[in-house]
Homo-oligomer: A and B are copies of this chain.
Amino acid sequence: MKPKNITSADVARLAGVSRSTVSRCFKADSRISDNTRKRVIEIADQVGYQVNKIARSMITRESDLVGVVSSGLHDPFAVVLIDQLITTLQQRGLHPILLDASNETQLEISIKKLAQYQVKSIIITSGSPSSAIGAQFVSLNIPVILLNRAGQLDQANLINCDNRTGSTLAAKALIEAGHRNLAFINSKNSTYSGTKRGEFFEQALALKIEAGEITLHQVLPSKTGYVGGYEAALDLLKNLDHPTGVYCATDNVACGFIDAAKFEMGKKIPEDVSVIGFDDLPIAARAPYNLSTIRQCPTDIAQATADCIQTIDTSPKPKRIIIPVKFINRGTVAPIKIA
């Protein structure tokens, strides 16, 4: 706190120009003679001057800070997503400040804190802001971007992966492999995406369910993620006529399901049960799982998010973006055994 900073005034004095001139040397557009600019920059480098972004933000009333709120890094897809966000934002000269929001009240608090920093935008990857807090941000002109979330506030920008197509592809793959007894595994307190995937899966199967050709179990274990999948397998596979085709809300759930199926219930994957996940995490490709899954690409999402932030000045209308997905068929879908 104490030490005097090197300010533009110092550089100005050394270069024999005014502070304004120094300031203009660090903005791209300004009309400054090439000579003075070169000289000023040189002197600035020499004395280790760096523009004070706090002060700059003060006057411009905007910053290149971006708020990113997640519920920790427990969810593996959140990890790869935030990883991409960090690098993508950085490439574009934006700086993410991360906040944890495990519950709704924590979310509100976090969001308010961000407002104090004049953040350029706020990216939410967990929970959903209440419409009250949303309204506040609208009045502050801070755009909100919801990633794979529902939005009850319609000024928010929405970026979602294509849950419908993904779930339809999963349904198709399982049906084509001959499976008739299916399950969707999610969690009691599911994310928005998880719920949607279940809905779309059911929609894709609706006709065949009505025709009695297919049965579908919606499984909602009390826990979420890996342990949820684990729990679900224990429950689901204890009867002899268990489902043979399982679609999991996430790869994480799928891994838990597979581990329990193999190590606790003595099942073989995919001989006894076919499994499809969602996300295509790095772990899905590894030998112990070799999981067939719906890939949503975190890079695409991050790019779309950055685009969204940067175009928001020119086109303030909230955007609705759908990121495409792709079925990656590895080794956990097999034709049904003929009994």
One complex includes copies of this chain to the number of: 2
Residues of B within 8 Å of A117, CB to CB, are 53-54, 95
Instruction: Say yes or no: is A97 at the interface (Cβ < 8 Å to chain B).
Output: yes
1/0 per position for A55-71, CB-CB distance to B under 8 A?
Answer: 10110111101000000
CA distance A303 to B136 in the complex (A): 34
Instruction: Say yes or no: is A2 at the interface (Cβ < 8 Å to chain B).
Output: yes
B98 touches A96 (CB 8 A): yes
B90 touches A79 (CB 8 A): no
Question: Which of A110, A118, A262, A288 is the most central at the interface, judged by chain B CB atoms within 10 Å of its CB?
Answer: A288
* Complex: chain B residue closest to A72, CB-CB: B83
A82 touches B90 (CB 8 A): no
Q: Please provide the chain A residues from 78 to 117 with a CB less than 8 Å away from any CB of chain B in the complex.
A: 79-80, 82-83, 86-87, 90, 95-100, 110, 112-113, 115-117
Instruction: Say yes or no: is A3 at the interface (Cβ < 8 Å to chain B).
Output: yes
B112 touches A86 (CB 8 A): no
List residues of chain A with CB under 8 Å of any chain B CB: 1-3, 5, 48, 50-55, 57-58, 60-63, 65, 72-74, 79-80, 82-83, 86-87, 90, 95-100, 110, 112-113, 115-118, 136, 139-141, 226, 259-260, 262-264, 283, 286-288
Task: List 18 other contacts, CB 8 Å, given A3-B139, A52-B118, A226-B286.
Answer: A1-B141, A5-B61, A50-B115, A51-B116, A54-B54, A54-B117, A58-B58, A72-B86, A73-B79, A73-B82, A86-B100, A87-B100, A90-B110, A96-B97, A97-B97, A259-B287, A260-B287, A283-B283
